[in-house]
């Protein structure tokens, strides 16, 4: 670890002494960003960008299913990928997945943050409870939900039967195989995805609320504003930046979300519950270059979403 520390701290010293003069100083100035950003840049370039090039390169190669490379293939994989009849439905499902998970997460976490921002006995414990899905790996949360959804022995079905809920919606015990049918499986996986996205989002909004200076509310109170009015006129607008951060991070994470669907249904039956990320993984079993092409496509889709989002929220004009 120590060598890294040196490379970060030592170069910081030269720019500061004012004795230095002339061209040497300007050169150092020019190089200044390298001292400060170099390590970060190296890490990103080495571990993320290089494999990205490898991924793009593989999408143009003729690699057989065992991983052996038979040479250049041009755009064949892209051609084959776009010819897949399932690609359209998968992309549509991805949009449904993205919009419903991110949308519901934002809608639920706002009142949740408001609630957690108030004083009540045991608030700290409630906040800690909310952290549980965040502290546990998503992989495990998905498995425990699959466990609870087992048709014969799962907690959700047992409790549902005990309360007579399942009977009321016309489900016999055998038919309560939620993950077996694409429709109900997708709904449950969306619920799990919302569940694991809530802590981060709620905490971000909560942080945003706590940063709003109390005196603004005081002033509003003096002016006779109602609670709702001060919420909609002060809290909401001032919360926008925090909400933008939360939304952006969620959009990228939910689009890339893999463990939930993989652990709960493997994208099945067939690819009927696969989003584009899971579909990419399914493709890998039959064609490595096609899976690489799908990864490239996924990147462009998520980049497009992010660009549209940034445009829409005027991100660029703001500080970061």
Q: Of these, 81, 90, 116, 189, which contacts another protein (CB under 8 A)?
A: 116
Q: Does 241 bind another protein (CB under 8 A)?
A: yes
Q: Is the dihedral of CA 63, 254, 297, 49 positive or negative?
A: negative
Cα–Cα distance for residue pair 214/212, rounded to 1 Å: 6
Q: What angle do CA 288, 293, 294 make, to 5 degrees?
A: 95
- DSSP, collapsed to helix, strand or coil, labels residue 53 as helix
Pairing of strands 61-63, 69-72: antiparallel
Instruction: List CB contacts of 172: < 8 A, sequence separation 6 or more.
Output: none
CA distance 302 to 32: 33
Site string for another protein, 9-28 (x = CB under 8 A): x--xx-xx------------
Contact flag: residue 64 with another protein (CB under 8 A): yes
Please tell me whether residue 112 binds another protein under the rule CB under 8 A.
yes
Q: Decide: is 159 part of the binding site for another protein (CB under 8 A).
A: yes
Residues 90-109 that bind another protein (CB under 8 A): none
Residue partners of 301: CB distance under 8 A and separation at least 6: 91, 94, 255, 276
Residue 269 makes contact with another protein by CB under 8 A: yes
Q: Is 166 in the site for another protein (CB under 8 A)?
A: no
How many helices (H) and strands (E) are present in the chain, helices listed first?
16, 2
Query: Contact between 71 and another protein (CB under 8 A)?
Result: no
| Cis before 112 (ω within 30) | no
* 142 touches 259 (CB < 8 A): yes
Query: Counting beta carbons within 10 angstroms of the beta carbon of residue 280, is it exposed (0 to 12), middle (13 to 18) or buried (19 or more)?
Result: buried
Task: Choose, by CB under 8 A, the member of 24, 26, 41, 314 that binds another protein.
Answer: 41
Shortest Å distance, C-beta 229 to another protein:
18
CB of 203 to another protein, least distance (A): 6
CB of 17 to another protein, least distance (A): 8
Q: 3-class DSSP state for residue 48?
A: helix
List 31, 129, 163, 165, residue binding another protein (CB under 8 A): 129
Query: Applying CB under 8 A, which part among 56-64, 71-79, 97-105, 228-236 lies near another protein?
Result: 56-64
Choice from 20, 27, 44, 96 touching another protein (CB under 8 A): 44
Among 20, 26, 31, 65, binds another protein (CB under 8 A): 65
Interaction between residue 222 and another protein (CB under 8 A): no
Nearer to another protein (CB atom), residue 13 or residue 222: 13
Q: Does 302 bind another protein (CB under 8 A)?
A: yes
User: With CB under 8 A, what is the number of residues at the site for another protein?
Assistant: 127
């Amino acid at each position: 670890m120590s060598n890294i520390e040196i490379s970060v701290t030592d170069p910081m010293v030269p720019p500061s002494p004012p004795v230095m003069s002339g061209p040497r100083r300007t050169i150092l100035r020019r190089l200044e960003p390298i001292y400060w950003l170099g390590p970060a840049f190296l890490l990103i370039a080495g571990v993320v960008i290089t494999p990205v090039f490898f991924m793009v390169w593989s999408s143009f190669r003729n690699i057989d299913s065992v991983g052996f490379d038979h040479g250049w293939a041009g755009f064949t994989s892209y051609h084959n990928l776009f010819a897949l009849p399932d690609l359209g439905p998968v992309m549509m499902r991805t949009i449904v997945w993205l919009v419903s998970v991110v949308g519901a997460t934002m809608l639920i976490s706002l009142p949740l943050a408001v609630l957690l921002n108030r004083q009540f006995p045991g608030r700290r414990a409630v906040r800690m409870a909310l952290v549980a899905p965040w502290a546990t790996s998503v992989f495990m949360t998905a498995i425990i939900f699959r466990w609870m959804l087992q048709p014969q022995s799962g907690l959700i079905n047992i409790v549902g039967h005990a309360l007579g809920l399942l009977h009321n919606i016309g489900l016999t015990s055998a038919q309560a195989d939620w993950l077996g049918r694409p429709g109900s499986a997708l709904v449950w996986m969306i619920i799990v995805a919302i569940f694991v996205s809530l802590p981060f989002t709620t905490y971000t909004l909560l942080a945003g609320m706590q940063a709003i200076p109390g005196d603004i509310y005081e002033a509003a109170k003096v002016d006779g504003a109602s609670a709702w009015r001060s919420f909609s006129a002060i809290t909401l607008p001032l919360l926008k930046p925090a909400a933008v951060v939360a939304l952006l991070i969620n959009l990228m994470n939910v689009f890339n979300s893999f463990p939930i669907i993989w652990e709960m249904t493997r994208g099945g039956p067939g690819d009927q519950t696969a989003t584009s990320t899971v579909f990419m993984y399914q493709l890998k079993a039959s064609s490595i270059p096609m899976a690489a092409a799908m990864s490239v496509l996924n990147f462009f889709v998520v980049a497009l979403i992010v660009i549209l989002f940034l445009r829409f929220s005027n991100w660029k004009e703001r500080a970061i």
